[in-house]
Amino acid sequence: MMLFGSEILTTAQMRAIESDAIDSGAATGLQLMERAGTLAAGHIRLANPKPGRAVILCGPGNNGGDGYVVARQLHHAGWSVRVLGLDNMPGPDAAHMKALWQELGPIHPLSDEQLHGEAPADIYVDAIFGTGLTRPADHRIMAILKRLGSDDPRYRDKLYAIDCVSGLCLDCGAMLGWPDDQLSRAPHARMTIAFDSPKPGHLLRPGCLLSGQVVIADIGISAQRRAAATQRQPLHAIRRPGDAAPGLPRLLGKSPEGHKYRHGHAIIVAGAAGHGGAARLSARAALRLGAGLVTLCPPQPAMPEHAGPPDALMRRPIDDGAALADLLTDGRISSICIGPGCGINRAAELLPTALQTRLPCILDADALSAIARDDSLLAQLHDRCVLTPHEGEFSRLFPDIAARLHKAEHQAGKTCHSRIDATRDASARSGAVVLLKGPDTVVAAPTGECCIHSALDVPWLATAGSGDVLAGMAAGLLARAIPPFHAAGLAALLHAEAARQFGPGLIADDLPEQIPSVLRALEV
Ligand SMILES: NC(=O)C1=CN([C@@H]2O[C@H](COP(=O)(O)OP(=O)(O)OC[C@H]3O[C@@H](n4cnc5c(N)ncnc54)[C@H](OP(=O)(O)O)[C@@H]3O)[C@@H](O)[C@H]2O)[C@H](O)CC1
Ligand SMILES: [K+]
């Protein structure tokens, strides 16, 4: 089942597909560059229907080649175009495009002094570096990038990036040469025109925060992309429910003849008295996502705390592993959620019983802390488990993998290790689905399947209890026999959509209540 939206390609995969297209005679490199530049100019013109003044910044390679095409196309469309470029000899395709531009106008030096000495323009086009960036930009290019990212109203909200904002590593989303505390001064594009497919760097932080609206231009290599699809580990982007496959409403809908047990039974383990709110949020979310039955399982002394609504929720005390094992003999139980408000010791006590059943399991919060301090629990995980760590929990669970995420090596021009690589590594090691939470959530399965869900537009999701709702949503979907990788990805998607629909002022309690409206909008 392929449920999620556009495929994401790494830069190496993109280069291989481009080579396939050229080697097979489907297109020449020159034709691809002409298409790339022409489509980019088209998107720029769509966003700016009235011709104005454009400054095009062209780098040393093929990204610069695209820039020369953009310059020519905007010129022919009636724009007043100034080109800033380097006095180097690029590859043959870019050299050809550079020469074509030189028949129309001059190339001025690519320097900050030149840029800032130009009369103010309506738009600036960043065609300095694209997928070929190998190291941080030198100080001369840095000066230009800092200018474009400055507060000066001459540049603000006028930047169009070809393939990416220069300096961005399209494989991991890092800005090479930019310390984290200076990223606010990096160039922020209004629009990025990317080719054929999004790249990880467009979707991972900080790249996703700098890329603006990412539009994908079809340069005519989709046949080669599809032909090579089986050689790649699947990696997809989901942003909105509309990006998911058309089968989504049917998957989330309920058949008219089904009774409650056809939709599964989720067990939500709760913790000691005074900590029950988190598990109740999870339980409410599991109910709202259509689990046929949901049972909340606190220890006996905490039962009175859960007497209130929702009345649809069942309660059953669970004091120890034996009681849980007894409950789980009911073959109709189809998912378990352990973690929210559970307490680390209680999670550690109950996990072996839950894992032994091999039932689909959501492990969040205190369950993750319990696993982090006991390797034997990590060894008991299986492919129907979904771990939902935030970055701190991820670092405690997989310290060596998290340490590789540190980008110092990459800044020095060595290979990068992205959130995607880290999540995939964690999934391969644990044998479980791993959902690494954040504004750029990554979900990976032990099969290598992976998806990224960006939710940059819903900052109100960063609120207490929001993760408990996410865990409950995933538990509800798992209870309904949705496979773990898809349950995790869909939970991230529907969770963000609920927040988006509710808008500012959101608290976690609002999220489950918003689910019916999200489902209605999907025509479930
Ligand atoms: N993939 C496609 O289907 C198409 C891609 N197009 C466009 O091409 C670029 C990729 O072009 P490429 O030439 O591979 O790379 P760049 O233009 O991004 O940069 C390469 C040159 O830049 C030099 N470089 C790299 N990093 C630095 C740096 N920090 N400072 C200075 N110079 C740097 C690099 O030099 P090396 O010394 O590292 O070799 C190259 O000279 C892609 O992004 C698209 O825009 C096509 O036009 C359409 C098809
Ligand atoms: K660029």
List, for residues 168-202, the tens digit of each pLDDT value: 999 999 999 999 899 999 999 999 999 999 999 99
The CATH homologous superfamily for domain 263-521 is Ribokinase (3.40.1190.20)
Please, what is the Cα angle at 479 between 258 and 424, to 5 degrees? 140
Which amino acid appears at position 66 of this protein?
D
- pLDDT for the residue 478: 98
d(CA 479, CA 386): 13
pLDDT bucket at 248, cuts 50 / 70 / 90? confident
Q: What are phi and psi of 457, to 5 degrees?
A: -90, 5
Ligand 1 atom having least distance to the Cα of 17: 3
Looking at the CA of residue 176, tell me the nearest atom of ligand 1. Answer: 29
pLDDT, residue 416, reads: 85
Tokens of 462: 């960063």
Atom 28 of ligand 1, residue of closest alpha carbon:
137
Measured from the Cα of 14, ligand 1's closest atom is: 1
Tokens 């009911």, residue located: 330
Whether the model pTM is above 0.90: yes
| pLDDT given at position 60 | 97
Residue 413 predicted with pLDDT over 90 = no
Residue 277: pLDDT over 80:
yes
Report which residue type is found at 347: A
Residue nearest to atom 38 of ligand 1 (CA): 134
User: Mutate which of 133, 142, 193, 215 to test ligand 1's pocket (most atoms within 8 Å of Cβ)?
Assistant: 133
DSSP 88: S
Residue whose CB lies within 8 A of the most ligand 1 atoms, among 134, 163, 175, 224, for a mutation test:
134
Task: Tell whether residue 66 is among the known ligand binding residues.
Answer: yes
pLDDT for 162 equals 98
Sole residue written with tokens 């935030």: 390
Residue 101: enclosing H or E segment and its boundaries? Answer: helix 92-102
**Tokens 């059943």 -> residue:** 357
pLDDT at position 156: 92
The ligand 1 atom nearest the CA atom of 164 = 43
Closest CA to 205 of 184, 240, 174, 249: 174
pLDDT of residue 427: 98
Statement: residue 414 has pLDDT above 70: no
Task: Reply yes or no on whether the pLDDT at 245 is more than 80.
Answer: no
The predicted structure's pLDDT at residue 260:
73
Q: What pLDDT is attached to residue 364?
A: 98
Residue 314 dihedral angles phi and psi, to the nearest 5°: -95, 155
Arithmetic mean of pLDDT over the chain: 95
pLDDT at 242 (0 to 100): 78
Question: What is 11-232's CATH topology?
Answer: Rossmann fold (3.40.50)
* Ligand 1 environment, Cβ below 6 A: 14-15, 18, 32-33, 36, 59-66, 129-138, 162-163, 195, 219
Q: Is residue 134 annotated as involved in ligand binding?
A: yes
CB atoms within 10 A of CB 279: 28
Weakest mean pLDDT among 84-93, 152-161, 392-401, 406-415: 406-415
ipTM summary value:
0.97
> Edge-to-edge strands of the sheet including 450-454?
235-238, 450-454, 440-444, 433-436, 385-387, 361-363, 335-338, 265-269, 293-297, 314-315
- Check residue 411 and give its pLDDT: 62
pLDDT category, 264, cuts 50, 70, 90? Answer: very high
As annotated, the residues of the chain forming the CATH 3.40.50.10260 domain(s) are 11-232
If pLDDT is split at 50, 70 and 90, which confidence band does 407 have?
A: low
The rounded Å distance from CA 127 to ligand 2 centre is 4
Going by C-alpha positions, the residue among 264, 309, 326, 297 that lies closest to residue 478 is 264
- The answer, yes or no, to whether residue 2 has pLDDT greater than 70, is no
Euclidean distance between CA atoms 20 and 69, whole angstroms = 23
165 C-beta neighbours (distance < 10 Å), count? 27
CATH 3.40.1190.20: which residues of the chain? 263-521
| pLDDT number for residue 521 | 93
18 CA from centroid of ligand 2 (Å): 18
- Beta bridge partners, 168, equal 175
Atom of ligand 1 nearest to the CA of 93: 47
Starting from the CA of residue 89, give the closest ligand.
1
From the CA of 166, how far away is ligand 2's center (Å)? Answer: 4
The rounded percent of the chain whose pLDDT value lies above 90 is 89
- Is 63 annotated as ligand-binding? yes
Q: 132 CA distance to ligand 1 centroid (A)?
A: 3
- 3-class DSSP state of 54: strand
For residue 125, which ligand has an atom nearest its CA?
Answer: 2
Band of residue 409 on the pLDDT scale cut at 50, 70, 90: low
Enter the tokens of residue 122.
């309506």
Rounded distance between C-alpha atoms, residue 317 and residue 335, angstroms = 17
Query: Does 329 belong to an annotated binding site?
Result: no
| Residue 111 pLDDT > 60 | yes
453-468 mean pLDDT: 93
How many CA atoms does the CB half-sphere of 338 hold within 13 Å? 27
Kindly indicate the confidence band of residue 495, based on its pLDDT and cuts at 50, 70 and 90. Answer: very high
Cβ neighbours of residue 230 under 8 Å, at least 6 residues apart? none
Return the pLDDT at 480.
96
Has 341 been labeled as part of a binding site?
yes
Q: Where are the alpha helices (DSSP H) in 336-455?
A: 344-356, 365-372, 375-379, 391-397, 399-404, 408-411, 419-430
Mean local confidence (pLDDT), 229-241: 89
Closest C-alpha residue for ligand 1 atom 24: 133
Q: How far is residue 288's CA from residue 49's CA, in Å, rounded to a whole number?
A: 46
Q: Which two tokens stand for residue 226?
A: 């599809």
Confidence of residue 239 (pLDDT cuts 50, 70, 90): confident
Ligand nearest to the CA of 134: 1
User: What is residue 415's predicted lDDT score, i.e. its pLDDT?
Assistant: 75
